[in-house]
Structure 1
Amino acid sequence: MDWEEAGRPNKAMWLLAESKPVRRVRKAIGRVLGVDPFTGDTRFYQFAHGRHRATRIQLVNHMIAVNSYSRYLEIGVRSSEAMLEEIHCKNRLGVDPDPNASADVCKTSDEFFLSNNQQFDIVFIDGNHTGDQVRRDIENSLGCLAPGGVIMLHDMNPPTRFHARGSYKVDGKYPAWNGTSWKGYAWARANRPDLTMYVVDTDWGVGLIHPGRQETIDLHEPTYSDLSKNRGKLLNIISVGDFLNKYSNPFRFDHD
């Protein structure tokens, strides 16, 4: 999928909506109203590590605090101060193929997993934003996940076709982009009954995966139209409040 599938007549509108001035206005409105039409819930919550505005960082830190996790892996760093340095975990490891990303390991995630012999309590996937790559990252992360561990993912709930386009760059600009990451998550929703999976409705959709059980969906090679028509069921979306209700006690494999 590329941006043309979003509809050429709408391209100018989306570029404007994702321009820096409009994003600043949207962010300010979202802070007042507690919700952003694109990114979801922006309210403050009492997480295990303190009161914070809901973001992917706070959801990850909550899981670490509740479960006393000590080994964190981040796939897709880009800039260490963007997230990695905000994670409250004893041992943090960042992987990114970009030498300018300040990652601990300068490799693609595929290359990293080929030689990895470590286990991790929590893996955060925010690397290559294509469905095929996210699928591989999920499978590889499951292979090195410690008992009682969890995988979390970013950009699982693209609000429009434009945000779910195949390429980041549009006419020399880099507007907000979720890519087709959600398709890798959807593959696991369709093929892995041995997992429990949710997408928390904040910060462009924060996915959560761990061993458990689920009723799989009957959907193969999904399109954005499939997502748009039945987003709640396909992604298994929950609110931040639901997330806190489900995951504020030490993790158990029979958690559902």
Structure 2
Amino acid sequence: MVTNATGDERANPLAGKRAKGQAYLEFLADMHGAIGPDWYLEVGTQTGKSLLAADCACVSVDPEFTLKHEIMGAKPGLMLFQDTSDRFFESGFLDRLGVRFDLAFLDGMHLYEYLLRDFMNAEGYMTKGGTVVMHDCLPFEPSMAERDRRNAKTRAWTGDVWKVIPILREYRPDLEITVYDAAPTGLTIIRNLDPGNTVLRDRYDEIIAKYDQITDVTTQVRAFEVVSTDRSPWKGGAAAKTSAPRRMALPAPALTAVTSASSVAAAPVFPKGDGPLSFVIQTAAPNARVMPNWGDYFFAKGLAEALERQGHKARIQARNRWNVSEAPGEIDIVLRGRADYARRGSTPTLYWVISGGEHVPRPELEQADHIFVAGKALADRWSRQVGADKVSVMWQAFDATRMPMPPERVKRTGIVFVGIARKMRPIVQIAMQTRYSLKLWGNGWRETEAAKYVVADRIDNDDLGGLYTGAEIVLNDQTRIMRKAGLVSNRIFDALACGAPVVTTPTGGLPEDFRPFVTEVSTPEEFTEAVRAIRAETKEQRAARDAFARKMRETHSFDARASEVLAKVTELRDIKLAAE
């Protein structure tokens, strides 16, 4: 029900009439005046009209600006990024900028999963007393809330971003959420933010699976508690800022930029001579302090040590030092994570995409000298975009110094899974519907139905090999993004290298030599049959598994991958020398 301060009924959402409150741009202007933000973030700027009220330092993101207004005004700084919001937040620019926003306005793509990601990402860069404003959560006619804009019977289109309100109320009850009937399609004000909260990110797949099924827009939106107002409460009201706003100085002159996260590729300059090469492995970890907590760090460490065993130099850098050079003639190996990478000028640049990859923009692909992809499906897709000679499959790997071969007569026991819970892993959920007992290591499991199976909240990386060499079965699952790209989890490589059978949810594409030793399951019945088959394996089958574990040292270890990297660098250098 929509009510005003006296309790009178107003135009109900989805009654065929637009919201009757103050026009949303005037409402937003009142908020700017009252809050007096030092920094303002805007997702979805388009013509620039929504930027006019801001007179502070601003960051604006839009995939296709069509500016029609003089938006600089008295702003001390304005940065415009012509890119999708997903790629912008993944680029790491805000980490490098090092600011926190007091006010953010989210008016991007009108599909709920996009707005949810925009909120998740924006909240991480807000001040604790900051305010996030979301637009278009009050459709006034059912068809305008259709996911396909072509089905809207009205000129305006809100899409299904209304779903973000019940999502936040269900999963983030700590937030203060107020929906106003700002004309024509409402404004949602969110306060009491917690930049360090990861609930939405941790449970994202669960949320999407649930809310994809919720389509009754009329019932849902009419249940909203909507505050009506002829004038926003920020117009000299209690919500107004009582002290004079601070202004964060920017270097003069004020910065105005229209850019994307990627840079133009420069011709690589390879070191001359036959001496040792110097590699920099660039990870997406924000800084060195947190880097050891990132899974990619151990991956980078395994590759660096393998390169050093072959006589070369290698070091690992976090995102805040991506542009740092410590020696001439360095070669970058980018472990592409959830952050866009800008090439370091003429530094030879190789990518190794081991996870994600769904949102890497084409200009970024084009700036690389070569792209290794740990999955055939994604490699094939990118080959069509940037050329088959620039992309090749290079699977993930295992560290042979930490994943030992098992003793010949070891007795294997336990069905084990190592990894964070993410609310509930699909493979564990399937296993729990069978009669088999499990052993779990990882954060988050004690708050789930699987709590009784928890052995410890973590296991040291150096102890993981010992666990796998004695495990009867190692469980694995794949995220939706990895499965779509055919990127096979590093966990499978580790387990097979220790001679352990693997049971996993569908992977999207295993290396051919893995198929005899990995069982993919989707149901409890398939899981039960897989366990029975493994327990009934013959001596010959066991010997074949152990032989494959030994063979993996030659084919799938970090030493093998280091050799592939070195061969590609030699090839690229020879091609460049021949062209000079």
* Shorter-chain TM-score range: 0.5 to 0.7
Establish whether residue 145 from structure 1 lines up as the match of residue 119 from structure 2.
no
Deviations 1:131-176 (A, max 9, x none): 11111111111111113110001101111221101122359x9821
* DSSP 3-state at the match of 2:188: strand
1:113 corresponds to which letter in structure 2?
Answer: F
> Take 2:43 and 2:80, find their aligned partners in 1: how far apart are those partners?
11
Paired residue for 1:83? 50
* DSSP 3-state at the match of 2:81: coil
| Cα distance change, pair 236–139 in 1 and its aligned pair in 2 (3 A) | farther
Establish whether residue 163 from structure 1 lines up as the match of residue 144 from structure 2.
yes
Check the 8 A contact 2:143/2:154 in 1, yes or no: no
1:249 corresponds to which letter in structure 2?
Answer: A
Q: Which moved more, 1:96-105 or 1:197-206?
A: 96-105
> Take 2:157 and 2:181, find their aligned partners in 1: how far apart are those partners?
17
TM normalised by structure 2 equals: 0.31
Paired residue for 1:175? 155
Check the 8 A contact 2:27/2:231 in 1, yes or no: no
> Take 2:114 and 2:149, find their aligned partners in 1: how far apart are those partners?
15
| Cα distance change, pair 196–90 in 1 and its aligned pair in 2 (3 A) | same
Establish whether residue 237 from structure 1 lines up as the match of residue 263 from structure 2.
no
| Cα distance change, pair 242–197 in 1 and its aligned pair in 2 (3 A) | farther
Q: CA deviation at 1:68?
A: 2.0
Correspondence 1:26-41 to 2 at 5 A: 38-41=17-20
Paired residue for 1:228? 218
Check the 8 A contact 1:120/1:146 in 2, yes or no: yes
> Take 2:64 and 2:36, find their aligned partners in 1: how far apart are those partners?
31
> Take 1:130 and 1:75, find their aligned partners in 2: how far apart are those partners?
14
2:20 corresponds to which letter in structure 1?
Answer: D
- Identity percentage of aligned residues: 23
Deviations 1:168-226 (A, max 9, x none): 2359x98210001111232112110110001101220111111179xxxxx9527342x
Task: Kindly indicate whether structure 1 or structure 2 has the higher relative contact order, using CA contacts under 8 Å at least 6 residues apart.
Answer: 1
> Take 2:219 and 2:42, find their aligned partners in 1: how far apart are those partners?
31
Q: CA deviation at 1:104?
A: 0.8
User: 2:166 aligned to 175, 186, 195, which one?
Assistant: 186
Establish whether residue 96 from structure 1 lines up as the match of residue 62 from structure 2.
yes
User: 1:126 aligned to 94, 103, 107, which one?
Assistant: 107
> Take 1:199 and 1:149, find their aligned partners in 2: how far apart are those partners?
17
| Cα distance change, pair 240–89 in 1 and its aligned pair in 2 (3 A) | farther
Paired residue for 1:60? 28
Unaligned runs of 5+ residues in structure 2 are 1-9, 69-78, 195-206, 243-580
Q: CA deviation at 1:236?
A: 3.0
Q: CA deviation at 1:89?
A: 2.7
| Cα distance change, pair 199–247 in 1 and its aligned pair in 2 (3 A) | farther
| Cα distance change, pair 149–212 in 1 and its aligned pair in 2 (3 A) | closer
| Cα distance change, pair 148–202 in 1 and its aligned pair in 2 (3 A) | same
Deviations 1:70-95 (A, max 9, x none): 21111011111x322x2233122210
Unaligned runs of 5+ residues in structure 1 are 1-33, 43-53, 214-218, 252-256
Check the 8 A contact 1:135/1:185 in 2, yes or no: no
* DSSP 3-state at the match of 2:63: coil
> Take 2:43 and 2:238, find their aligned partners in 1: how far apart are those partners?
23
Q: CA deviation at 1:242?
A: 8.8
Check the 8 A contact 1:149/1:210 in 2, yes or no: yes
Q: CA deviation at 1:100?
A: 4.2
Paired residue for 1:48? none
> Take 2:193 and 2:102, find their aligned partners in 1: how far apart are those partners?
16
> Take 2:238 and 2:47, find their aligned partners in 1: how far apart are those partners?
28
> Take 2:19 and 2:35, find their aligned partners in 1: how far apart are those partners?
26
TM normalised by structure 1 equals: 0.67
> Take 1:228 and 1:174, find their aligned partners in 2: how far apart are those partners?
16
